[in-house]
Structure 1
């Protein structure tokens, strides 16, 4: 009867069908809570600190006042809705403060706070479209957060911002790889948050180590669909004192706008295997929070931070015009600004392909985050290579420079375990987010892109041998019109020919081309 059982054919045919992305299953960009109390935030004044200075570090020796206006600034200029436009084909388009892969915005922000100027103690969700806070819990739950993070200071800082990732928003388009993109997006959001905090004189640090289950429970999120990714305590602690972790009742988990999501076992397993299950595990994992006091003074004037964020948008075409060496130096310095974080400093290192920078020879380079020096790895015109490495996109070939953030994952995972992968992706996202801010503050364009992973490592080897690409950003002068240019590199064409049976004997084939 096997030949008469047609279920095998039906199943095979269905899973091997080709189709464009299913727009009917696209998840909404906003989370909502029906019937819960909202607190409207005041109109956030734009941060006026020069953007490069804000990215470089705290701009004031004295702590700024954390009130409702400051909270509004921090949230709006990190993840808020900054403008809308109408597309003839797509309708109303929403633009958020930080760059997001595919404009899918998987990151949600929450606030856990005590009583302070203009806001009652509680747990809140930030609604970007309304610039408002939805109260999820009433009362002081900072002690619960301190216990989950194994950090007593969280019980006395006025507020902590907690980020979560709604995995299906990215996985809907990018599938298993979407897990990476969630942390890239988390990084660009936090690049904005850290710069805004610096401009307000607010201390801010990144804590990626915490008991996952406990933080998710504080927020009331369903961990399979939405999970906590990072904590950002704001301001100085009010001195250590005994605290109480309150009993947690079940609360509304909110409406993500979808009921069924395709699961991707590899990313689900990775997230589960990277969890921490007890405060002791958190303490053992963290060691200590790395703080950095040296602040670099930018030498090039830049636009105010608020203006740079509001006017930011991913470049769709670069003009193939040069930028200056001074501009490149500031962009690289911005990317490598030390951040106060529990995973340390320097998981990723910048590598570059320079196409058109006055005073810098075209070629492949490594940038030292410690010395600020460029090391030439190989000289030459690598526009075609850049376009191919950037997933066959003209943006890589046309950019003045492309910055690749590579991490030694073996070292990071050896020190931090599976959770080190989250940290490496997040750090690279912050580095890329800083480049976005810096580029737009200098009147330049920038865009993140996807890439051929192993080919990038092979191209920059032997220097980059053993390292893995986390994130990349192309930068340069925005082209007119700012629309995607059709592109096919000679390497893409060669790969197609070789895949169809050509031998490649008539022309040399670089070794890196055979990498994935």
Structure 2
């Protein structure tokens, strides 16, 4: 039975990779933009607890976060102020985006109902389908209970009172011993209304981007944030009162506000709520008059949840690291430009944005700039998780160099340990990039370089089962978020895209026919200076 579920996931991933040539079902789907969901989930009739502003607190320079060794341990206990910063600088609303660019929605974003709100963490298509819940224990700054982070209000909405942290610890099978937890969920309709069956691939990478952003912020405060990716999904969904096919937990992050102790007995109110399935029946605001589910999304999600094999030994992940290439020549890279990454990480996240159509080829990307982004991005392969050891990144990085000063055009594999590029082939690449990209929001001929994030997906499914797809995509998303952050600190334009023909890019970087495939793509280059923008910071 586990093999059948893994086959469902494998078939879905293969359809994602081939969607540039064979459209995913439903063919011809068109989003109903007049009936799109709200970007912000809001519970009705609940009490809200405003959080501290979350901005203005000093954080470490970006160079210290991405180029130096991470803190050796979990670091200081969390406080209300540090939690507010973690949430505000990642998924909270920071500004309104009004820059004129090549995206097809520029003309409607000036209208308030179509406003685009900037956040520190990236999200595919700007949909932001993730929700954050805090299961608070007795050491936290609020009464123990279950809270929802309302991004529109930068406040916690209390859904149920009582200490339910023991329920989370049990659902995580001993992987988290803290007295509080952040639970990351995905509300599928917030993404699927645009991306339909492609949704599951996008949202699992979104979860990785958020986790990667949290890891950056935690490091900037001298902390680490472990992530738990192996847990009883249905048990946690019941705790939050979720309908699994509509919204489901993707990750759990232990968040200690006090020293861990013996599991407390839940209060009578909390125990009753847990028995009924948590805060069920809490009404929410739904902007869409009609919502729907997509069969492929439901099938792959159920295949992951129904694959109940135990958490593997983390050492298994060391066998899944992308294999080195046969030597075809090497290019030594200069040292990273640490001096240009001296900006406070919080300010960098507030300024992070996407370079839609703004790249200009008249100023090539510097080889030292490329080396800096690569070194910083690779730092996201080191994280603390229940299923992956910190010394075993599941992803690889490839470079498709188009306009990089001092580097012949072509494709390369990045060797982080040796700080070098391994040559795959050196040849003009602009035409391949342009033909392989099937959207109209970028001119690929003007891009300096494209980073392709890869992973050994079949081996990961064989070793981890169906859940391995989510584990791998989480790391892919974290790398993309870190690349965005480093590029923003460096002053280099950046855009993360999924709109490439994966098969064509695999061929370009020499991965055709193998286990390793490209998953996500990062565009880098310098931007035009005459762009129109408006500073609309909200915090």
| TM-score when normalising by structure 2 | 0.79
For residues 24 and 268 of structure 1, the distance between their equivalents in structure 2, rounded to whole angstroms, comes to 25
Aligned with residue 517 of structure 2, among 452, 461, 468: 468
1:307 and 2:342 matched: no
Cα-to-partner distance string for 1:94-135 (whole Å, 9 max, x where unaligned): 222222222111111111121335322221111112110111
The aligned residue for residue 137 of structure 1 is 160
1:277 is displaced (CA, Å) by 7.3
The aligned residue for residue 224 of structure 2 is 203
For residues 207 and 415 of structure 2, the distance between their equivalents in structure 1, rounded to whole angstroms, comes to 24
When residues 386 and 256 of structure 1 are mapped into structure 2, their CA distance, relative to the original with a 3 A threshold, is farther
Residues 431 and 445 in structure 2, CA contact (< 8 A), matched pair in contact too: yes
Cα-to-partner distance string for 1:63-94 (whole Å, 9 max, x where unaligned): 23411111100111110101125676331322
When residues 65 and 462 of structure 1 are mapped into structure 2, their CA distance, relative to the original with a 3 A threshold, is closer
The aligned residue for residue 33 of structure 2 is 23
For residues 18 and 218 of structure 1, the distance between their equivalents in structure 2, rounded to whole angstroms, comes to 38
1:18 is displaced (CA, Å) by 6.2
Q: Structure 2: which 5+ residue stretches go unaligned? A: 1-24, 99-105, 319-334, 533-539
The aligned residue for residue 302 of structure 2 is 272
1:184 is displaced (CA, Å) by 2.0
Residues 334 and 431 in structure 1, CA contact (< 8 A), matched pair in contact too: no
Cα-to-partner distance string for 1:368-402 (whole Å, 9 max, x where unaligned): 24433210111122112122233355343322110
Give the secondary-structure state (helix, strand or coil) at the position aligned to 1:136.
Answer: strand
Give the secondary-structure state (helix, strand or coil) at the position aligned to 1:461.
Answer: coil
1:119 and 2:142 matched: yes
Residue correspondence of structure 1 range 76-115 to structure 2 within 5 A: 76-85=88-97, 89-90=108-109, 91-92=111-112, 93=115, 94-115=117-138
Aligned with residue 459 of structure 1, among 491, 508, 514: 508
1:162 and 2:189 matched: no
1:55 and 2:83 matched: no
Return the structure number with greater relative CO, CA threshold 8 A, min gap 6: 2
The aligned residue for residue 330 of structure 1 is 372
The aligned residue for residue 488 of structure 1 is none
Residues 356 and 401 in structure 1, CA contact (< 8 A), matched pair in contact too: yes
Aligned-residue CA RMSD in angstroms?
Answer: 2.9
1:35 is displaced (CA, Å) by 1.3
Residue correspondence of structure 1 range 348-387 to structure 2 within 5 A: 348-387=395-434
When residues 61 and 36 of structure 1 are mapped into structure 2, their CA distance, relative to the original with a 3 A threshold, is same
Residues 140 and 257 in structure 2, CA contact (< 8 A), matched pair in contact too: no
The structure whose Rg is larger is 1
The aligned residue for residue 45 of structure 2 is 35
| TM-score when normalising by structure 1 | 0.82
1:479 is displaced (CA, Å) by 2.3
When residues 159 and 399 of structure 1 are mapped into structure 2, their CA distance, relative to the original with a 3 A threshold, is farther
For residues 460 and 138 of structure 2, the distance between their equivalents in structure 1, rounded to whole angstroms, comes to 39
For residues 385 and 518 of structure 2, the distance between their equivalents in structure 1, rounded to whole angstroms, comes to 21
Residues 52 and 80 in structure 2, CA contact (< 8 A), matched pair in contact too: yes
The aligned residue for residue 172 of structure 1 is 193
For residues 467 and 404 of structure 1, the distance between their equivalents in structure 2, rounded to whole angstroms, comes to 12
1:471 is displaced (CA, Å) by 1.0
Aligned with residue 81 of structure 2, among 69, 77, 80: 69
Residues 79 and 97 in structure 1, CA contact (< 8 A), matched pair in contact too: yes
Cα-to-partner distance string for 1:433-454 (whole Å, 9 max, x where unaligned): 0000000001111111121122
Residues 385 and 397 in structure 1, CA contact (< 8 A), matched pair in contact too: no
For residues 114 and 16 of structure 1, the distance between their equivalents in structure 2, rounded to whole angstroms, comes to 44
1:341 and 2:424 matched: no
The aligned residue for residue 326 of structure 2 is none
Aligned with residue 238 of structure 1, among 247, 250, 259: 259
Aligned with residue 318 of structure 1, among 355, 359, 362: 359
356-365 or 161-170, which moves further after superposition? 356-365
Cα-to-partner distance string for 1:418-470 (whole Å, 9 max, x where unaligned): 11111111111100000000000011111111211222212222577332221
1:481 is displaced (CA, Å) by 4.8
Q: Structure 1: which 5+ residue stretches go unaligned? A: 1-14, 291-295, 484-516
1:171 is displaced (CA, Å) by 1.3
1:306 is displaced (CA, Å) by 1.0
- Number of residue equivalences: 460
Residues 116 and 158 in structure 1, CA contact (< 8 A), matched pair in contact too: yes
1:222 is displaced (CA, Å) by 1.6
For residues 529 and 173 of structure 2, the distance between their equivalents in structure 1, rounded to whole angstroms, comes to 52
Give the secondary-structure state (helix, strand or coil) at the position aligned to 1:198.
Answer: helix
The aligned residue for residue 229 of structure 1 is 250
